[in-house]
Structure 1
Amino acid sequence: MAQVAMRESPGRSFMPAAFRNAGADALCMVAVLLLAALIIFLFGGAAMQRVVTYAAIMLTAVLGLQIFSGNSGIVSFGHAAFAGLGAYATGILTMPAALQRTALRDLPQFLAGYELSFFAALAMVLVLAIVIGLLTGTPLLRLTGSSASIATLAMLIIVYTLLVAGREITRGSQPFYGVPREVGLWTAVGIASVALVAARLFRETAFGLATRAAANDERGAAAVGVDQRTARLAAWVVGTVAAMAAGAMMAQFLGAFSPRDFYFDFGFTLLAMLIVGGMNSSLGAFTGVVVTIAVIEIVRRFEGGGEMFGLHLPVLFGLTQGVLAIAMILVIWRRPTGLFGERELNLLRRPGGRAIPASAQPPLHVEHDRLAADHLSRRYAGVVAVDDVTLAFDTDSITGIIGPNGAGKTTLLNMLAGDVEPSAGTVSIGGAVRAASAFRFARSGVARTFQNIRVFPAMTVLENVVVAARQVEPDLGQAEAAAMRELSRMGLEKSADQPAARLAYGQRRRLEVARALALKPRFLLLDEPAAGMNAVETAELVSILSAVRTERRIGVVLIEHDMRLVMNLCERIVVIDHGRVIADGTPAEVQNNPAVIAAYLGSRTARAKTASETTANETA
């Protein structure tokens, strides 16, 4: 985003840059779709108009799949089932009553005799889609990754089985006929245009950002307040609505259909279209449908046999699906992210350009608060990582946690951040005891960074920080402005529009800190923030953290092995060894503590002794 939303006057702001950019992209794709439809309408025959109508219907279904799978990273087979449910619901609601009495003699009374227009039926189908999306998504999305994908496949099989078994409603495996054919070129193109706009804008909403962040790194997303289940459920419901809308159009486009029309072949075609174009963007869905429909139309001319280049071709059943499979394999081999990659058009974005920060925000002062660990312990099988630790950290203070490798420092920090559940003891924020939940701790004012950097590599630098800012700011415009302030603080504003994957190691460290600060935390937990940085970068980090503490009066708790950083920055130092606190005091007190000297020098002496014994043995 070349420019972030800036406040024009109190109570009024420009449209967020992300939405401006997404809107421009969507309008461009809609313009191409409408232009193609107009050309076909004016110069193409009935057969070509039918092909474009079918393509628009498939585009709506593929966009429904992209809204969920493209943002969540979970491949779904269930959207084919939703299209089938939309088709049967529309067929029942729009079928003439007289024909319904003969074709569906045993139809339950509460479903009979509606005879609605297509758009009236579509409205009812969309409401039904929201209900079905919530009912299926709530239990299904408790799973993640391949488990969730397998669950969607099971759902496809279940829906197919129910459609075949429900003969009184669906006519079973027999064709469901008699549906009015009211969906033509402009109806299909109009609904597909709405789906295009919805899919492109969804990426930039709070739900879209959160879903993409969780797909990149679940722990990292939780640490900035993302409730991944809620975010994925939103994407699932919106995708369900689009898929059932496509099914509703398909019903009145075909006029007659059966459960097999919405089973494996249909689901495979949807996935092939999305993978060929690029799963992670609406542009990929759009171009994937165009390319795949062109391939299908060409291949179908030879599927029934005939002459080609003087050769007689036999009838080849399944040739279309076979060619689609080969095309999908070739694309995955040569371009794993699809023909058009994983990014959108971004017409209003200037990659690498200097982002203009919003007007400065008055210093944020946090009221006095306390983060406390009470008799905290954590055991892994027979290993005690943290053993009965009781500590309290106040705002407007900087505390360093040090200790030998394996002392339990990171485990303690993970429990303080809600990322790990204690085996015993409690963690409280402001006096309120919190059950372990990383995203709830983040929303309660505890931000953190990780020992192993957890940025969102497929998202831009600005989007990485906006995900966090969106949890505390009232709208996207203010979240963008807050994110730019933190990026400017960390010297990353020029990289705002670059994918985070392109940043150097030290820049990623600073990005993670900027993302944590965007949460406006009361406590900032840093796990080895200077690891991998050179002396200049470390000095800059010390300066930034000191300024943040002065400006916001927040509590900073950091784990660090760089003793110079710890001694220069921290007012209090806690030393942990074998999971227990062995010292707690000022830097001077800790430096002269016999237990600390023994913990550090003892381990070094043991290593030196082992090394000398090994050398002596080799000499002998």
Structure 2
Amino acid sequence: MPSQHAQNRLAAYSTPLILSAVLLAFVLLVVVLDDKALARTAAEALVRVTLVVGLWIFVGNSGVISFGHAGYMAIGAYCSAWLTLKPQSKALFLPDLPPWLMDAQWPVFPAAIASGLLAALVALLSGAAILRLSGIAASIATFAFLAIVNTVYSNWEGVTGATSSVVGLARYVDHWVALAWATAAIVAANLYANSASGLALRATREDEVAARASGIDMYRHRLWSLVISAFFTGISGALLGHSIGVLNPDSFYLGITFISLAMLVVGGIGSLSGAVTGVLLLSLLIELLVRAERGITVGGAEFALPSGSQEILIGVAMIVVLILRPAGLTGGREFKLRLSVPRIPLSQEPTSTN
């Protein structure tokens, strides 16, 4: 019979199995309904799962709110464009690329991996400076990083196209591709959370002073989690670009930053299950609001929400959740399989006889 510790470990590792099963059921429902618009929405939602799970690897374990992950997303998206666009398109939109990059035309999977690795490398370099800070100072520094990335990519015309959109990316990301990457991100996030580094990092989140006194190198663990987090965030950027086929620096700025943090907070920043739950629920809410803005017919009368209601109502939903459930909808708890431990009855002591 497995020990109690072993059963706890098995229960912890059941979380990605449950979350992956939920996402698979979601995709199968989309396939059964056979609605092209719904399939696109599902693909976008699953790309957001990869993004928010990547964000959670750092934010959820360290407790440091990051406003800069959209910058890593932009780095990954443009890296994939550099590697996969046809040379003719790059000569037209990105004429200042170096010759070896101008002629490159990689398959989409190695390009996605390379995009994640480039984002991870930038995270290693930027995090080496940012993570020497703590608390609100570190959060402000991450926002400064995002502003720097956006400024560079919005003005580097010959390499990023500046504010002009880069078009022509292969739109290979459907709900199945997005599901595979979302599942990979969930498994990696769970493995890191249950690793020695993840446990040590959460100890610093709960009590930084006590963790330091116990000999935990907070800086090293935070930097390691940021690198892993940026890897999947960079891949999510590549997936987003290849989902819509167009890149623009403003697609990776304040809008995506707000919505990703909102999903994380609504679901529950303290758990991986909360991150996935927040994405699915807010993605559903966003789709309903978009359709409501276009107009819905009820009893022969057509109703439409005012333009811009989506952002306002999402903000209201976030405030309501924070008031009623400060720890998020999941309360910081993970979805786990409850494994029962059979009880062994105590043997009765023999009665003494005279």
TM-score relative to the length of structure 1: 0.53
Q: Indicate how the Cα distance of structure 1 residues 247 and 301 shifts in structure 2: closer, same or farther if over 3 A, else same.
A: same
- CA-to-aligned-CA distance 1:194-221 (integer Å, 9 cap, x gap): 1111112221111111111101111111
Runs of at least 5 residues in structure 1 that lack an aligned partner in the other structure: 6-15, 357-620
Opposite residue 214 of structure 2, the aligned amino acid is V
Q: What amino acid does structure 1 have at the position aligned with 2:190? A: R
1:47 Cα offset (Å) = 1.2
Task: Answer yes or no: is 1:172 the counterpart of 2:172.
Answer: no
- 2:262 maps to which of 267, 272, 295: 272
Which amino acid is 2:292 matched to?
F
Matched, 1:205 2:191: no
| Alignment match, 2:172 | 182
1:227 aligns with one of 202, 214, 217: 217
**Bigger radius of gyration, 1 or 2?**
1
Out of 3, 6, 16, the residue aligned to residue 26 of structure 1 is 16
2:90 aligned with 1:100: yes
Q: 1:250 to 1:224 in 2, by over 3 A?
A: same
Partner of 2:119: 129
Q: Where does residue 184 of structure 2 map in the other structure? A: 194
User: Which residue, out of 317, 328, 335, partners 2:307?
Assistant: 317
- Give the distance between the partners of 1:199 and 1:250, measured in 2 at CA: 20
Matched, 1:260 2:250: yes
Cα separation, 1, equivalents of 2:343 and 2:271? 23
Secondary structure in structure 2 of the residue aligned to 1:173: coil
Q: Is the 8 A contact 1:89 1:125 kept in 2?
A: yes
Aligned pairs (5 A) from 1:23-102: 23-102=13-92
Instruction: State which of 330, 335, 343 in structure 1 corresponds to 2:320.
Output: 330
| Alpha-carbon contact 2:18-2:336 (below 8 Å) kept | no
The answer as to 2:147 corresponding to 1:157 is yes
> Quick check: which one's helix share is greater?
2
Partner of 1:363: none
Q: Which structure has greater strand proportion?
A: 1
Q: Closer, same or farther in 2 for the Cα pair 1:298/1:110, shift >3 Å?
A: same
The offset of 1:348, in angstroms, is 4.0
User: For residues 4 and 235 of structure 1, what CA distance do their matches in structure 2 show?
Assistant: 29
Q: Over residues 363-392 of structure 1, what are the superposed CA-to-partner deviations in whole Å (9 max), with x where a residue is unaligned? A: xxxxxxxxxxxxxxxxxxxxxxxxxxxxxx
- Give the Å deviation of 1:286: 0.9
Is the CA contact 1:279–1:285 (under 8 Å) kept in the aligned structure 2?
yes
Deviation per residue, 1:198-245 (Å, 9 max, x gap): 112221111111111101111111122211111111111111111111
- Which amino acid in 2 is paired with 1:281? S
CA separation of 1:290/1:137 partners in 2, compared to 1, >3 Å: closer, same or farther?
same
Contact 1:22–1:201 (CA<8 Å) still a contact in 2? no
CA contact (8 A) 1:53 1:184 kept: yes
Distance 1:355 1:283, change over 3 A: farther
5+ long unaligned stretches in structure 2:
345-354
Cα displacement (A) at 1:180: 0.9
Does residue 240 in structure 1 map to residue 220 in structure 2? no
1:148 aligns with 2:138: yes
- Aligned residue for 1:191, secondary structure, equals helix
For the aligned residues, what is the CA RMSD?
2.2
Residue of structure 2 equivalent to 1:427? none
Secondary structure at the aligned position of 1:207 is classed as helix
Report the secondary structure of 1:29's partner residue.
helix
201-210 or 275-284: bigger deviation: 201-210
Counterparts of 1:81 and 1:42, CA distance in 2: 36
Q: What's the counterpart of residue 289 of structure 1? A: 279
How many angstroms does 1:285 deviate by? 0.8
SS at match of 2:292: helix
AA aligned to 1:226 is I
Task: State the shift of 1:314 in Å.
Answer: 6.3
